[in-house]
Amino acid sequence: MIRSEILRDIAPVLRDHLVICNIGLPSQELHMIDDQPTNFYMLGTMGLSSSIGLGLALAQPKTVISIDGDGSVLTNLGTLPTIANNVADNYILMIIDNGSYGSTGDQPTYAGKKTKLENVAQACGCENVIVCRDVDTGKVLQEAIDSKKMTVIVVKCDSGNIKLPVITMDPVVIRDRFMKAVSA
């Protein structure tokens, strides 16, 4: 499965929770598949999905799912020790690991070579790290939500993209709509 197929598969799980969605194609795909006020689309700032999600989870009690990529986590690798040392049990970091920089033309990442992000997360002190196959993502995600334990999920999947339009919604509208959903 490629990322857009996984997002389509897990959309029914995601829609009941606060979602911080990574820059580029992941946000465009989620926006097209199931646009919700509970989705915060990143229009820029590669690497910070996990940080925004952690800050949000620490600030309020609802479950927060950060959808990140292997390339984006590599961009902000310092996020993993911060997550490990500031446990928020309402926080799930879901890394869609397709071993490539999908939004820029599928150049390979180091996670697609020798680097194992699940091992990096564990070495940083993250206590619940789960590696899963693309087809099991929905089940694993639901279990992580139900466990009420901070969890890092590394989803191993194929690289590949679909053609779709950019998000034209104004960033302040995205943010305002999202904040209303957070406080609802």
Partner 1 sequence: MNIDKKIVDDLVANDVSFVTTVPCKQLAGVIEEVEAREEIFHIPSNKEDEGMGLCAGAFMGGKRPAIIMQNTAIGVTINTLATLIQYYRMPLPMIISYRGELREPVACQVEMAVHTKALLAEMKIPTYHFHHQSDVEEFDAILKYTFMCNKPVAILTDANFWGGYGDQ
Binding site for partner 1 (CB under 8 A): 20, 40, 42-45, 47-60, 64, 76, 78-79, 81-82, 86, 171-172, 174-175, 178-179, 182-183
Q: Closer CB to partner 1, residue 146 or residue 183?
A: 183
Q: Which amino acid is at 27?
A: S
Q: Closer CB to partner 1, residue 48 or residue 144?
A: 48
Distance between CA 130 and CA 64 in Å, rounded? 17
Contact residues for 72 (Cβ-Cβ < 8 A; gap 6+): 22, 23, 46, 47, 49, 50
Please give the backbone phi and psi of residue 143, each rounded to the nearest 5 degrees, phi first: -65, -40
Q: Closer CB to partner 1, residue 8 or residue 177?
A: 177
Shortest distance in whole angstroms from residue 184 CB to partner 1: 12
Number of H helices, E strands in the chain: 8, 8
* Unique residue bearing structure tokens 């799980």: 13
Shortest distance in whole angstroms from residue 90 CB to partner 1: 10
Shortest distance in whole angstroms from residue 121 CB to partner 1: 14
Q: Closer CB to partner 1, residue 64 or residue 144?
A: 64
